[in-house]
Structure 1
Amino acid sequence: MSDDINKAKSAILRNIPSIDSLLKIPKAIKWLKEYPRNLVLKALRDAVDTKRTELLSGEAHSVTLNSLISLANDRLTAHTSFSLRPVINATGIVIHTNLGRAPLCKSAIDNAAAIAAGYSTLEYDLKSGRRGKRYTHVQSILKDLTTAEDAFVVNNNAAAVFLCLIAIAKGKEVIISRGELVEIGGSFRIPDIMAHTGARLIEIGTTNKTHLYDYERAITDNTGVILKVHRSNFQITGFTEEVGIDEVTALARKSNITAMYDLGSGCLADLLPYRMHDEPVVKNIVKKGVDIITFSADKLLGGPQCGVIAGRHDLIEAVRTHPLARMVRVDKFAISALEATLMEYADADKSFKNIPVLKMLTEDIREIKKRAVRLASGIKGQTTGHMEVKMISDTSYAGGGSLPGHEFSTYAVVIKPEKQTVNELEARLRCSNPPVIARIKVDSLVLDARTIFDKEVKTIIDMSKSWCAT
């Protein structure tokens, strides 16, 4: 019996078309006109190898020309598509780390595109006709917005903290409250960062309570920095106490040591009118006398991935001239996008309208509801009889290690499939073009209208009919 099966398999294997013969069919000839020959060959070979393996393992019992071409087409699409792709964020998480954090404002996109298209004044001074410095393009505007004496930019906030500590605290003691020994994304921890800077970590207080006398008792002749860390990605509530930045800076000044504040998510806009009371504004912290401050540009600021360092000129100069500064420098794309984003803050009202992160966090709930109504109505019209579609009130979050504990009222579209599982539906949306990233809630799929742009509503509606295909 087994011999008969093997003979049957051998016969089928012999009937699998050769690559040369596949290259002569109309579809392959069309591919050769559109794609490089080596990619077409790779797609066909992958398809043939896959089908051969399925036959030998018993997963398949026959091979048709159509199935080979279909598989080769999928492979060719994969080989010729970008891996880094735009997606529609329907999760309700505004600063979604996995989805690229802050979407850029139009002026930042336009400026970065203009700089990318040709040559630029990245390190060229037009007035003198000599070599310039890349950081001057954002230095002045950062000084204006933060009210700091000087400013510098590196590739992210972890690098900003690291560079500051190695430049101003190497071989010295750095005092920090135990309640502020945070861990940021990717398991980067403040103690680990500090250990590699050559500074000595001095922990004070307890997890939930730190007093001013804890700082005072820890100061020695070798103390270089008192480091405050804003808990931008978590909260400690209940029986707690911490020392305010006013008292810390006063103590540091009296003791002739540096007061440093890592703000993490860093906010340039005043969110107080929007009831986000506990998020410190960078310029307000600088005015309290902090010597050096670090924060991200791609979180609440709403710009490209960067780490901003602002503060006293002598400290910024020490950071700027440190040998490691070049290793964490930003490129022309980040600088061009950052400069344009910062310019939006010249007009406070415009910044909340033009910078996507600020707009999404503060958008009128009535506008979100209108978008959700359109979305629900459109999807329901395309999927009648296949899915239960309704609009609900729900909750969104800032995300990206920002505004912990803040919940934002929102409206979402809930889809409950009737002829497939919710996981199958989620996968269909995730693998669509463009991909739609949603979240699952019990046995339904949730599309949060807060993070869906107006221009994306029609796109989602148009593609929703394909979600019903069996």
Structure 2
Amino acid sequence: LNTLAEGKEVVVSRGELVEIGGSFRIPDVMRKGQAILREVGSTNRTRLSDYEEAIGPQTALLLKVHTSNYRIVGFTAQVPLPELVRLGKRRGLPVMLDQGSGNLLDLAPRGVKDESPAQSLLAQGADLVTFSGDKLLGGPQAGILAGRSDLIERIRKNPLSRALRVDKITYAALEGTLQAYVTGRAEEEVPVLRMLAETAESLKARARRCSDRVRELSAGRVVAEILPGSSLVGGGAAPLEELPTWLLAVGCRDKSANDLEEALRRRRPPVIARIQDDRLVMDLRTVPIDQEEELAQAAAALGEARATR
């Protein structure tokens, strides 16, 4: 923003003035970049004509922000990226899209919709795409810029770029993560993608195996069974998507779900479970296979823990 629109206007839909983690908001980021925010449309509906009517002598950039951590539903309208790109070309303005989630794969077959890969957005004509190095990409926390080489070079020469550059450890971690994509092994090697890719059938088999192990280790003192459930993607992406899963539910006759949750949380290392319908449940989607035995032992030990309430 500072490179492309310092002292000039950036046009963005009012419905895309997002706030991300840490209470950072688009208007505040814009102000720090010394760009002038030009809001168009309304919270729930923005048309192409809203952008076109806002363009003037001071306009430097058209900005589209993917609402990766929330959704506006109902009576809504937003401008598809290709239409905004055509407007930008007609008026000689670059189009920048903040994708946010860092997704690089087509996740629709996995049940995650409306999270277009960054490559797809560039193919649709966006001049710049910004996204996170973590979240769905699965690497270290970082901000990534992709797009037209001439714009990237201008941004690289901004003095702020030197001050804000990441360190070598971040580059190394990012390179290691991206290598998994290059070799086609991202869904096996990147934890978040491995979780998203695991099928309900696989999770059911793992949950059953874990429940059998809990009953065996606890000599029947802990009741363990499996239940159908859903996994939320979270992490700043796909806020409404739920993936089918199978849950490990555990209980003890003389202890409440709150007692059991606290006992697991106080372990070293802690086990973070959740309470659903007054039952303590754990989603095997979030548990690596090589940690199943450790989880079973922790759950079995609940039969020995004292109630705190």
Choose the corresponding residue for 1:178, options 2, 9, 14. 14
Kindly indicate whether residue 2 of structure 2 is the aligned counterpart of residue 166 of structure 1.
Answer: yes
Deviation at 1:347, TM superposition (A): 3.5
Partners of 1:391 and 1:363 lie apart in 2 by 17
| Bigger Rg over Cα | 1
Residue of 177, 189, 211 corresponding to 1:341: 177
TM-score by length of 2: 0.94
Q: How does 1:52-451 map to 2 (within 5 A)?
A: 165-348=1-184, 350-384=185-219, 386-451=221-286
Q: Residue 417 of structure 1 contacts residue 444 of structure 1 at CA under 8 Å; is this kept in 2?
A: no
Which segments of structure 1 move beyond 6 Å, counting only runs of 4 or more? none
Structure 2 unmatched ranges of 5 or more: none
State whether structure 2 residue 300 is matched by structure 1 residue 458: no
TM-score if structure 1 supplies the norm length? 0.63
* Separation (CA, whole Å) in 2 of partners of 1:273 and 1:201: 37
CA contact (8 A) 1:294 1:309 kept: yes
What's the CA shift for 1:238?
1.5
After superposition, give the CA deviation of every residue in 1:173-225 in whole Å (9 maximum; x if it has no partner). Answer: 01000111111112111111112211111111111111111000000100011
1:422 Cα deviation from its structure 2 partner: 2.1
Query: Counterparts of 1:342 and 1:268 in 2: how far apart (Å)?
Result: 10
Q: Deviations over 1:371-412 (max 9, x none)?
A: 111111111223355443211000001111111211100001
Structure-1 separation of matches of 2:260 and 2:111? 37
SS at match of 2:247: strand
Residue identity (%)? 44
> Is the CA contact (8 Å cut-off) linking 1:382 and 1:464 kept in structure 2?
no
Q: What is the SS of the residue equivalent to 1:436?
A: coil
User: What amino acid maps onto 1:184 in structure 2?
Assistant: I
Q: CA–CA distance in 1 between the matches of 2:301 and 2:248? A: 17
| C-alpha deviation, 1:466, in angstroms | 2.8
**Larger RCO (CA under 8 A, 6+ residues apart):** 1
Number of residue pairs aligned between Structure 1 and Structure 2:
305
Structure 1 portions without partners, runs of 5+? 1-164
User: Is the contact between residue 372 and residue 411 of structure 1 (CA under 8 Å) also seen in structure 2?
Assistant: yes
The alignment partner of 2:182 has SS state of coil
Q: Show the counterpart of 1:56.
A: none
Q: Give the C-alpha shift of residue 356 in structure 1.
A: 1.7
More helix by share: 1
Partner secondary structure for residue 98 of structure 2: strand
Alpha carbons of structure 1 residues 389 and 465: separation in structure 2 relative to 1, 3 Å: closer
| Secondary structure, aligned partner of 2:61 | strand
Does the CA contact (< 8 Å) of 2:103 and 2:116 recur in 1? yes
Is this contact kept in 2: 1:293–1:310, CA < 8 A?
A: yes
Q: Deviations over 1:21-78 (max 9, x none)?
A: xxxxxxxxxxxxxxxxxxxxxxxxxxxxxxxxxxxxxxxxxxxxxxxxxxxxxxxxxx
Q: CA deviation at 1:327?
A: 2.7
* Cα separation, 1, equivalents of 2:191 and 2:300: 29
